[in-house]
Amino acid sequence: EIDDLKYFSQLATKARVILDIGANTGLYSILSSKSNPRSQIYAFEPYQTNSRRLSRNLELNTCNNVEIVNDALGEDVRKIEFAVPVDGEICDISSADTDFSRRFYKKWRDYENIKVSQNTVDDFVKNNGIQSVDLIKIDVENYEIPVLKGAQQTLREHGPALLVEIFVDKEKDDYFKDYLVPLGYSCYSISKSGLRSHPSIPADQTSRNFLFMKNLSF
């Protein structure tokens, strides 16, 4: 992930507003804050155990430009089921895709569902009077398509760079071709040798993180 962090940090230095969706305990929020103290960062983390540690980590690192939002993000505004560990411990694999958490990570944890509030990126941006969204990180354990569907207006109007963890399948690749490509986005894999452009989302990469940009600017 060190290569992902390097490129994300470079993008953060030029960003005015950054959305960290699936902030967990704050790695990308802290990196963004230190890379660009003048930016405004919104860290979305609906799991309260993670959110409390996130708040503490931001305090310890004096990240005064990060606002925590305890909502999930998806394609509509409603209450949703959210899978979290039964033991209530810090976890980087909780998800609004409750079946995915249980299926993919069942050997590590037992899960229970809780109710959380879900918003959309578009409604959040509109309701908070945000004039510019420049960079978005999405790490939501197989819930990335609903998040992006709820961000169509933001992507169209602001064209932010996107760093997205993707569990690649045909649905994700079709979404990229049908929705992101028409908006002018290209897909890049990230490695030690740099960025590589792809006409579709490749399934054979070591990392699940992909960069989507309208204009490559490094």
What's the pLDDT at 153? 98
CA distance 57 to 51: 10
Positive/negative CA dihedral, 140, 143, 149, 150? negative
Domain assignment present for 170: yes
Confidence tier at 105 by pLDDT (50, 70, 90)? confident
pLDDT tens digits, one per residue of 138-195 = 999 999 999 999 999 999 999 999 999 999 999 999 999 999 999 999 999 999 999 9
Domain assignment present for 119: yes
What's the pLDDT at 218? 64
Min mean pLDDT across 12-16, 102-106, 191-195 is at 102-106
Chain center to CA of 22: 5
What's the pLDDT at 102? 85
> DSSP strand E in 5-51: where?
17-21, 40-44
- Across the range 16-41, mean pLDDT stands at 99
Confidence tier at 23 by pLDDT (50, 70, 90)? very high
> What is residue 210's three-state secondary structure?
strand
> What total number of domains does the chain contain?
1
- Across the range 82-104, mean pLDDT stands at 91
Domain assignment present for 63: yes
Q: Which long-range contacts (CB under 8 A, 24 or more apart) does 156-159 make?
A: 156/183, 158/125, 158/132, 158/133, 158/134, 159/183, 159/184, 159/214
pLDDT tens digits, one per residue of 161-170 = 999 999 999 9
Query: Regarding predicted confidence, which is higher, 1 or 45?
Result: 45
Domain assignment present for 95: yes
What's the pLDDT at 67? 99
Domain assignment present for 189: yes
Tokens of 46: 């609906």
CA distance 212 to 204: 17
Domain assignment present for 70: yes
Torsion of CA 43, 25, 137, 174, to 10 degrees: -120
Q: Is the pLDDT of residue 49 over 90?
A: yes
Range of the domain at 53: 2-213
pLDDT tens digits, one per residue of 55-78 = 999 999 999 999 999 999 999 999
Domain assignment present for 218: no
Q: How does strand 66-69 pair with strand 40-44?
A: parallel
Q: What is the CATH number of the domain that holds 35?
A: 3.40.50.150
What's the pLDDT at 215? 83
What's the pLDDT at 107? 66
CA distance 73 to 36: 24
Confidence tier at 101 by pLDDT (50, 70, 90)? confident
- Cα–Cα separations (whole angstroms), residue 104 to 25, 26, 95: 21, 23, 11
Domain assignment present for 194: yes
Single pTM value for the model: 0.96
